[in-house]
Amino acid sequence: MSSTVHYISPSDREMILSVLDQAGYDASVLVEDPRFFNTAALLVTKLFLAGVDSQSALTAKLEYQLGRAGKHRQPGTSSLSRYAIQGLPLELQPRRREQQKSPG
């Protein structure tokens, strides 16, 4: 079994970059947080290779999936997955009822 190799022409590459730029995923996003840019670029490229070749359709799908890039977008900094694995730190754990009752 051999897989089909898809090539992206220079004009198609320029169109993909234009889609990214229209949605705000430009060089400044690449410098600030490459993860946002790389995720957007991968999504647009996959959509293009899947047959979505309209610039407006690619832009709409990108904005639907990831939203517009901008200063309001912040990378996720949640520690919830860490806490799910390791448990809550002692300072965040609720005190047990036995510890709250005063001896008497």
- Give 19-29 pLDDT, tens digit per residue: 999 888 888 88
Q: Please report whether residue 81 resides in a domain.
A: no
Q: Please report whether residue 33 resides in a domain.
A: yes
Mean model confidence pLDDT for the chain: 79
What is the Cβ-side half-sphere exposure of residue 39, based on CA atoms within 13 angstroms? 14
Q: Please report whether residue 13 resides in a domain.
A: yes
Q: Cα 21 to the chain's mean position, in Å?
A: 16
Residue 68 identity (one-letter amino acid): R
Q: Please report whether residue 3 resides in a domain.
A: no
**Domain tally, the chain:** 1
Q: Please report whether residue 41 resides in a domain.
A: yes
State pLDDT tens for residues 50-91. Answer: 999 899 999 999 988 888 776 545 555 555 666 677 777 777
Q: Is the pTM above the cut of 0.75?
A: no
Q: Please report whether residue 82 resides in a domain.
A: no
Q: Which domain holds residue 16?
A: 9-70
